[in-house]
């Protein structure tokens, strides 16, 4: 039951953050004050938030690496690490610059 509740909570949080980052003002506020914005959502963290732009994509180094999968030359794991590192923010075409 707790796994189901945890999964539902993660989906709810993901939905809230997804809506937030689609709104320019909310996205800017999240990037500028992540602890405060996330605390308002019930998430207490000291995470740093970096907002990707059309000409800047941030690389995230995962905290833990499965050394046995690396040693086994696990191609699927390497793909997973790549997606985690770039936060799924790889563009086949660069998005348009926002109008300011």
pLDDT tens digit sequence for 20-67: 989 989 988 998 999 999 999 888 888 888 888 878 888 878 888 999
Are both 86 and 46 inside the same structural domain? Answer: no
| Lookup: tokens for 70 | 């690396």
What is the number of structural domains in the chain?
2
CB 85 within 8 A of CB 62: yes
1: pLDDT confidence band, cut at 50, 70 and 90?
A: very low
Are both 16 and 47 inside the same structural domain? Answer: yes
Global pTM value: 0.57
What is the span of the domain harbouring residue 70?
A: 52-100
Are both 44 and 12 inside the same structural domain? Answer: yes
Helix, strand, coil percentages, rounded to 5, for the chain:
55, 0, 45
83: pLDDT confidence band, cut at 50, 70 and 90?
A: confident
Are both 44 and 62 inside the same structural domain? Answer: no
pLDDT of residue 42: 86
Are both 97 and 63 inside the same structural domain? Answer: yes
Are both 26 and 71 inside the same structural domain? Answer: no
Are both 94 and 61 inside the same structural domain? Answer: yes
CB 59 within 8 A of CB 90: no
């Amino acid at each position: 039951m707790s796994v189901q509740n945890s999964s539902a909570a993660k989906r709810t949080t993901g939905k809230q953050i997804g809506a937030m980052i689609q709104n320019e003002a909310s996205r800017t506020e999240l990037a500028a004050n992540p602890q405060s914005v996330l605390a308002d959502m019930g998430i207490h963290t000291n995470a740093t938030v970096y907002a990707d732009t059309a000409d800047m994509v941030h690389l995230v180094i995962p905290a833990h690496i499965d050394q046995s999968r690396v040693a086994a030359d696990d191609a699927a794991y390497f793909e997973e690490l790549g997606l985690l590192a770039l936060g799924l923010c790889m563009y086949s075409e660069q998005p348009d610059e926002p109008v300011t």
